[in-house]
């Protein structure tokens, strides 16, 4: 049987690049992009697209049947900063979309599911340096609570119903093709845009707030790797810790200054500081390394060189 893939939330920061990567691998026609609204021109021109509300079970079931979908990547979610403003909308979107996909998989309408979790599942009682895979998890944000609950449900559906669901706790993601929206780690993308456009940036986090981060190419690599690994190798069915680098806004600014010496940054923390304060500063991802051979390619220097080069080309 030919295997078709559906990406839900294909127009977002991760969804866009995941769509391109999957189309590259499996062919455009076999990878269906979907979102609640249309994406940028390049994405829309790259292959089939469906308008789909991830909270609408019937619509999702119909798209899956019509396109003979076998695998779903559920990338639709409301991120941490926006979720604090709209708690119930965030909870409904983040949880109902997951239940829709898990229930369709439970009914054998799908054979494999990818669902992203986040470093936001941890909280202020979690050891913040080299945060272990299994540790105290008391998230205090709406987004973090939804991701932690989601992890428990993924593991439950695997144990009870054999649903082959795979998940990664992404760090903050840095990318140049599509901007993030509504996250606490978004500063690490905005800063590059502002460095090139205005040579100055006002950061909404304090200069010493160190967070785990990753370049998008690594995030996509990890996603394809965990999805392509043999089933027996996926020993964690909640979600895997994943790491590449950790830095604070001051360190990122200094790295940019090596390329743009007159770049200036100042700090005006807003409500997102309180969110960042509860998240780890670095992550232990040994289990991902051991179980499915994870290793990152991009450190801060390499990420910065690539971001500035690609954004410059775009301008
Ligand atoms: N990058 C996300 C956020 O900041 C965390 O998963 O909300």
State if residue 34 touches ligand 1 by the CB under 6 angstroms criterion.
no
Q: What radius of gyration do the chain's Cα atoms show?
A: 19
157 is catalytic: no
Backbone angles phi, psi at 130, to 5 degrees: 50, 50
Percent residues over pLDDT 90 in the chain = 97
Q: Check residue 226 and give its pLDDT.
A: 98
Q: How far apart are CA 95 and CA 101, in angstroms?
A: 10
Q: Check residue 24 and give its pLDDT.
A: 97
List pLDDT tens digits, range 64-78.
999 999 999 999 999
Between strands 245-247 and 211-215, the pairing is antiparallel
List pLDDT tens digits, range 176-186.
999 998 999 99
List pLDDT tens digits, range 106-136.
998 899 999 999 999 999 999 999 999 999 9
Q: Confidence band (pLDDT; 50, 70, 90) for 3? A: confident
The single residue listed with the structure tokens 């800063």 is: 191
Question: Treating both helix axes as pointing N-terminal to C-terminal, what angle do 216-228 and 13-26 enclose, rounded to 10 degrees?
Answer: 50
State if residue 184 touches ligand 1 by the CB under 6 angstroms criterion.
yes
Counting ligand 1 atoms within 8 A of each CB, the residue from 172, 190, 204, 277 with the most, and so the one to mutate, is 172
Specify the ligand 1 atom closest to the Cα of 170: 6
Specify the ligand 1 atom closest to the Cα of 147: 6
Which conformational region is residue 130 in: left (phi greater than 0), alpha (psi within -120 to 50 degrees), or beta? left
Specify the ligand 1 atom closest to the Cα of 172: 1
Q: How far apart are CA 78 and CA 95, in angstroms?
A: 10
pLDDT greater than 70 at residue 100: yes
pLDDT greater than 90 at residue 263: yes
Catalytic residue among 143, 187, 192, 240: 143
* Spacing, Cα 90 to ligand 1 middle (Å): 13
* Spacing, Cα 65 to ligand 1 middle (Å): 32
Mean pLDDT computed over 146-152: 98
Q: Confidence band (pLDDT; 50, 70, 90) for 271? A: very high
* Tokens matching residue 307: 């971001």
Counting ligand 1 atoms within 8 A of each CB, the residue from 184, 239, 270, 279 with the most, and so the one to mutate, is 184
The single residue listed with the structure tokens 């979908």 is: 69
Answer whether 196's CB lies under 8 Å from 308's CB: yes
What are the DSSP calls for 244-290, one per residue?
SEEE-HHHHHHHHHTTSTT-EEEE---THHHHHTTS-S-B--HHHHH
State if residue 120 touches ligand 1 by the CB under 6 angstroms criterion.
yes
Q: Confidence band (pLDDT; 50, 70, 90) for 1? A: low
Query: Is this prediction's pTM over 0.75?
Result: yes
């Amino acid at each position: 049987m030919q295997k078709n893939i559906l990406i839900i939330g294909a127009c977002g920061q991760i969804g866009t690049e995941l769509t391109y990567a999957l189309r590259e691998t499996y062919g455009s026609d076999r990878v269906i992009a979907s979102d609640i609204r249309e994406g940028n021109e390049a994405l829309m021109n790259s292959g089939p697209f469906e308008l789909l509300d991830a909270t609408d079970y019937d619509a999702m079931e119909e798209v899956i049947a019509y396109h003979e979908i076998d695998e779903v990547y559920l990338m639709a979610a409301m991120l941490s900063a926006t979720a604090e403003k709209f708690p119930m909308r965030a909870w409904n979107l983040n949880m109902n979309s997951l239940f829709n996909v898990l229930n369709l998989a439970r009914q054998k309408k799908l054979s494999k599911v990818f669902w992203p979790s986040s470093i936001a599942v941890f909280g202020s009682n979690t050891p913040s340096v080299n945060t272990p895979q299994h540790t105290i998890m008391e998230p205090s944000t709406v987004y973090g609570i939804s991701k932690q609950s989601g992890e428990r449900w993924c593991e439950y559906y695997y144990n009870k119903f054999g649903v082959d669901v795979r998940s990664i706790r992404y760090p903050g993601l840095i990318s140049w093709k599509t901007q993030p929206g509504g996250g606490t780690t978004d500063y690490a993308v905005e800063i590059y845009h502002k460095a090139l456009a205005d040579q100055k940036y006002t950061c909404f986090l304090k200069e010493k707030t160190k967070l785990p981060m990753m370049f998008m190419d690594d995030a996509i690599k990890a996603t394809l790797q965990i999805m392509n690994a043999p089933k027996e190798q996926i020993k964690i069915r909640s979600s895997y810790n994943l790491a590449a680098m950790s830095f604070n806004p001051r360190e990122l600014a200094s790295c940019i200054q090596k390329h743009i010496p007159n770049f200036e940054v100042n700090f005006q923390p807003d409500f997102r500081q309180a969110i960042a304060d509860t998240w780890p500063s670095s992550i232990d991802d040994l289990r991902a390394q051991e179980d499915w051979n994870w290793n990152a390619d991009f450190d801060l220097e390499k990420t910065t060189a690539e971001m500035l080069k690609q954004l410059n080309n775009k301008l």
